[in-house]
Amino acid sequence: MEHWLQEIFNLLPGGGLFIAAVFLIALLEALVGVGLIMPGSVLTVFSGWLAFQGKAPIEAIMASAACGALIGDLLSYWLGARFGIHLWEWKLLKKRQNLLRLTEIFFIEHGGKSVFFGRFLGPIRGLVPFVAGASQMRPLMFTLYSVISGILWGISYPGLGFLGGTSWQRAETLTGRLGLLIALALVSSLLLTWLRHKLLPRQYQQRQKDDKDSQT
Rounded Cα distance, 94 and 168, in Å: 36
Q: What are the tens digits of pLDDT across the range 5-47?
A: 555 555 666 678 888 988 998 999 888 878 777 777 788 888 8
Instruction: Give residues with Cβ within 8 angstroms of 9, minimum separation 6.
Output: 1, 50, 53, 55
Rounded Cα distance, 114 and 122, in Å: 13
In 3D, which of 68, 67, 66, 58 has the Cα closest to residue 159? 58
Contact 94, 38 (CB under 8 A): no
More confident residue, 164 or 203: 164
103 pLDDT above the threshold of 60: yes
Q: What are the tens digits of pLDDT across the range 77-91?
A: 999 898 877 776 666
Per-residue confidence (pLDDT) for residue 204, from 0 to 100: 43
Rounded Cα distance, 124 and 151, in Å: 18
Instruction: Give residues with Cβ within 8 angstroms of 194, minimum separation 6.
Output: none
Rounded Cα distance, 201 and 78, in Å: 36
Per-residue confidence (pLDDT) for residue 68, from 0 to 100: 94
Q: How far is CA 74 from CA 65, 67, 141, 201, in A?
A: 14, 11, 12, 36
For the chain, the average pLDDT equals 76
165 pLDDT above the threshold of 70: no
In 3D, which of 20, 1, 7, 26 has the Cα closest to residue 154? 26
Rounded Cα distance, 120 and 184, in Å: 12
In 3D, which of 50, 3, 65, 9 has the Cα closest to residue 161? 50
Query: Where residue 99 falls among pLDDT bands split at 50, 70, 90?
Result: confident
